[in-house]
Structure 1
Amino acid sequence: MNRRLPVLRIGAASAVAALCLTAVPQAASAAPPATPPGLAQQDTLRWNTPKDFRIGSAVAGGGHHTSADYPEPFPSDPEYRSVLAREFSSLTPENQMKWEFIHPEEGVYDFGPADDIVDFAEANGQVVRGHTLFWHSQNPDWLENGDHTPEELRAVLKEHIYTVVGHYEGRIQQWEVANEIFDDSGRLRTEDNIWLRELGPGIIADIFRWAHDADPNAQLFFNDYNVEGLNAKSDAYYALIQDLLAQGVPVHGFGMQTHLGLQYGFDGRMQQNLQRFDDLGLETAVTEIDVRGPVGADGQMSPELRQKQADWYRMALEACLAVEDCNSFTVWGVLDEHSWVPNTFPGYGDALTMEGGYERKPAYDALQETLVRSQPGGDAKWEHHPAFR
């Protein structure tokens, strides 16, 4: 493989970035306030979030959006951007930082769409979660089907992490460094993850060290689905993280995606599971929550299922709020029409908290009420809250 310096394609969509506030770039370690400075009190999730807690959303883009019958919302829809700024204090690029988008050709990086999101977040006093550096899915063809030796693959991975994390040094609060590295039985994905297959499990410690070296202020996370409760997969992470911490590897957090289906039960041990990772000295987070159910021809669940969905959103948020260092809760999108769920689970959907013209569903109301009630004097605050009246 011929090594070459990376080519950077950096977009400039400053007109998109500035919406509500004047941007002042801040280091990730000096997080902006949870509520937007300079704005009057609002009936929003963001305004009602406790101090030092982040309510987040994925920023729609890439993936299934590229073939949808609507233009990508973030660059094209001012109302979408307004809702992002008003409702959320944390943003996660849905696809714009994944390998196939940000590193589409060997030695070539396209930072434009991700830069636009980071610029927008800084302009609106929000933090950013980077997603993701090491995954078995959505890798570019040149990587998955290339003819690289293990030594060359290691160099490619190291360069990617130093280039991407270094590009955003001081601007990303939390990086999802390793994503979905275990299967549901708790075994490492040594067949479908190119890095684990070709480089072995020791590469996991290396990627955390490289990311930390590239940005010493960013918090570095593991992230996975089906780890809400105490099970083989979450046990595998618990054991691995203990081992890495004992080696001095800079692991700072554990993220639970929490993609839930109403056809399955809600694991009531979520708080207990979050707590055991907290007890290791880690930050924890709910990183990608949505709650899907069976839908009719209109794409909606029954009122009864929507209420059950609201209860599950509430229970997940309550579990996070009850754990001292669970400080971030991210809904995986804003509008149902943008959700990944119907494309992946035909016949299921209605998984997010807003629909249509940003009408709020019972799930939204449940989140807002839970945020208000979690604060000192919260019950009284809720009785006088605009949403309650």
Structure 2
Amino acid sequence: MYSTSLLSLLAVPLTALAFPTTSLSTRQELESLHDKYVAAGKQYFGTIADEALLADEQNVGIIQQVFGQLTAENSMKWESIQPTLGGFNFAQPDVLVDFATANNMLIRGHTLIWHSQLPQYVSDITDAAELTEVIETHISEIMGRYVGKIFQWDVVNEIFNEDGSFRDSVFFNVLGEDFVRIAFEAAKAADPDAKLYINDFNLDSADNAKVQAMVTNVNKWVAEGVPIDGIGSQAHIAAGQGSAIPDAIKALAAADVAEVAITELDIADAPAEDYQQSVDACTQEPKCVGVTVWGVRDNDSWRPGTNPLLFDATGQPKEAYNTLVSNL
């Protein structure tokens, strides 16, 4: 079921949107980072959304002007999309997919297998055969619904500890590392044309043990025939860390995968230099296909009080946005 406000937004062209008087009512035109990045040879420059953000006119206006790809923020996570066994809830992800499709935007699916935001019924499974079936059904149902519409999926998310060991989770505890193969094979069967990613955070320095573990394990899995197409680096970083991102992206790109991406970029206090360094890291790496920033305006960020995004709480572009526009 779609909200009346969202349906009206989908039917109204950008030029007809009435933006709040504190922001884009000045009729300030924003330049598209997506168009500039595509012109630079990349596939996309994107952001996140879900139903609530797409019901906000200001947010929609910025998205339509600036970005060319949408990632589901929470609506495709397990507790949201299958809160009870066999009880799939597609209402919210349908809103995102329909909006992106109507606006000719690419879509990233996030995320299929993750230890967090997980219903208790999954965490309670102790039998390997049962968990395998639950994983395969979960992935088949979700990806099958959106086959041909979502071009990249984060199949497994945040599976390594900082020292490179496997994170404690129901998936690893019951199935060992074989859950990775199970998930990727199910994803490949559900949508053979989608690009399938392993995604993680703190992959922001080439020297990090997690980076080394990611590359080593991905190379092993690929050699064993696991259909991993890409590695996603979340890049939730602090000011001053942007300078390390280029070497980190190169280290990840050295793995036996077809592509890499920066998937969840946000930077505390949004320093323009760090944003530029992070985006440059992808620009300069041939395997890097795009950048996704984890939100539009600071007031919508999952990192409250850090002001990590390209637009402030009133929807005004910040220095980091202007710098990217100029340098791209």
Q: TM-score, normalised by structure 1?
A: 0.75
SS at match of 2:118: coil
What does residue 369 of structure 1 align with?
326
Asked if 1:194 corresponds to 2:170, the answer is yes
User: Which structure has the larger Rg over C-alpha atoms?
Assistant: 1
What does residue 334 of structure 1 align with?
296
What does residue 110 of structure 1 align with?
89
Asked if 1:78 corresponds to 2:57, the answer is yes
Q: Counterpart of 1:124 in structure 2: which amino acid?
A: N
What does residue 292 of structure 1 align with?
268
8 Å Cα contact 2:246/2:281 also seen in 1: yes
Q: Matched residues in 2 for 1:86 and 1:255: separation?
A: 25
- Which of 49, 62, 65 aligns to 1:59? It is 49
Q: Matched residues in 1 for 2:11 and 2:175: separation?
A: 42
Aligned residues: 308
What is the CA deviation profile of residues 110-155 of structure 1, one whole-angstrom value per residue up to 9, with x for unaligned ones? 01111111111111111000000111100012322x3553321211
Identity of aligned residues (%): 33
Shift of 1:244: 1.1
What does residue 119 of structure 1 align with?
98
- Which of 355, 370, 375 aligns to 2:312? It is 355
Asked if 1:214 corresponds to 2:197, the answer is no
Counterparts in 2 of 1:267 and 1:49: CA distance versus 1, 3 Å? closer
Counterparts in 2 of 1:322 and 1:120: CA distance versus 1, 3 Å? same
Q: Matched residues in 1 for 2:13 and 2:290: separation?
A: 22
Shift of 1:268: 3.6
Asked if 1:275 corresponds to 2:250, the answer is yes
- Which of 200, 213, 229 aligns to 1:252? It is 229
Q: Counterpart of 1:355 in structure 2: which amino acid?
A: D
Q: Which runs of 5+ in 1 are unaligned?
A: 1-9, 22-40, 62-71, 294-305, 343-347, 372-389
Asked if 1:324 corresponds to 2:281, the answer is no
What does residue 168 of structure 1 align with?
146
Counterparts in 2 of 1:19 and 1:53: CA distance versus 1, 3 Å? farther
8 Å Cα contact 2:48/2:295 also seen in 1: yes
Counterparts in 2 of 1:356 and 1:272: CA distance versus 1, 3 Å? closer
Q: Counterpart of 2:45 in structure 1: which amino acid?
A: I
What is the CA deviation profile of residues 19-65 of structure 1, one whole-angstrom value per residue up to 9, with x for unaligned ones? 549xxxxxxxxxxxxxxxxxxx962323333334311111156xxxx
Q: Matched residues in 2 for 1:16 and 1:164: separation?
A: 26
Q: Counterpart of 1:73 in structure 2: which amino acid?
A: L
Q: Matched residues in 2 for 1:16 and 1:48: separation?
A: 25
Counterparts in 2 of 1:260 and 1:239: CA distance versus 1, 3 Å? same
Q: Counterpart of 1:94 in structure 2: which amino acid?
A: E
Q: Counterpart of 2:250 in structure 1: which amino acid?
A: Q
8 Å Cα contact 2:48/2:71 also seen in 1: yes
What does residue 377 of structure 1 align with?
none
Q: Matched residues in 2 for 1:98 and 1:142: separation?
A: 15
8 Å Cα contact 1:176/1:221 also seen in 2: yes
Shift of 1:228: 1.8
Counterparts in 2 of 1:370 and 1:18: CA distance versus 1, 3 Å? farther
Q: Matched residues in 1 for 2:325 and 2:156: separation?
A: 31
Q: Matched residues in 1 for 2:224 and 2:127: separation?
A: 28
Q: Matched residues in 1 for 2:177 and 2:325: separation?
A: 41
8 Å Cα contact 2:126/2:174 also seen in 1: no
Q: Matched residues in 2 for 1:335 and 1:60: separation?
A: 14
What is the CA deviation profile of residues 296-337 of structure 1, one whole-angstrom value per residue up to 9, with x for unaligned ones? xxxxxxxxxx5xx11100000011100112111011000101
Q: How does 1:80-99 map to 2 (within 5 A)?
A: 80-99=59-78
8 Å Cα contact 1:17/1:117 also seen in 2: no
Q: Counterpart of 2:76 in structure 1: which amino acid?
A: M
Asked if 1:243 corresponds to 2:220, the answer is yes
- Which of 33, 37, 60 aligns to 1:49? It is 37
8 Å Cα contact 1:20/1:85 also seen in 2: no
SS at match of 1:132: strand
Q: Which runs of 5+ in 2 are unaligned?
A: 15-28
Q: Counterpart of 2:110 in structure 1: which amino acid?
A: H
Q: TM-score, normalised by structure 2?
A: 0.88
8 Å Cα contact 1:11/1:111 also seen in 2: no
Q: Counterpart of 1:237 in structure 2: which amino acid?
A: M
RMSD of Structure 2 on Structure 1 (CA): 2.1
Counterparts in 2 of 1:349 and 1:199: CA distance versus 1, 3 Å? same
What does residue 311 of structure 1 align with?
273
What does residue 25 of structure 2 align with?
none
Q: Counterpart of 2:107 in structure 1: which amino acid?
A: V
Asked if 1:156 corresponds to 2:118, the answer is no
Shift of 1:79: 2.5
Q: Counterpart of 1:220 in structure 2: which amino acid?
A: L
Q: Matched residues in 2 for 1:50 and 1:131: separation?
A: 22
Q: Matched residues in 2 for 1:362 and 1:73: separation?
A: 23
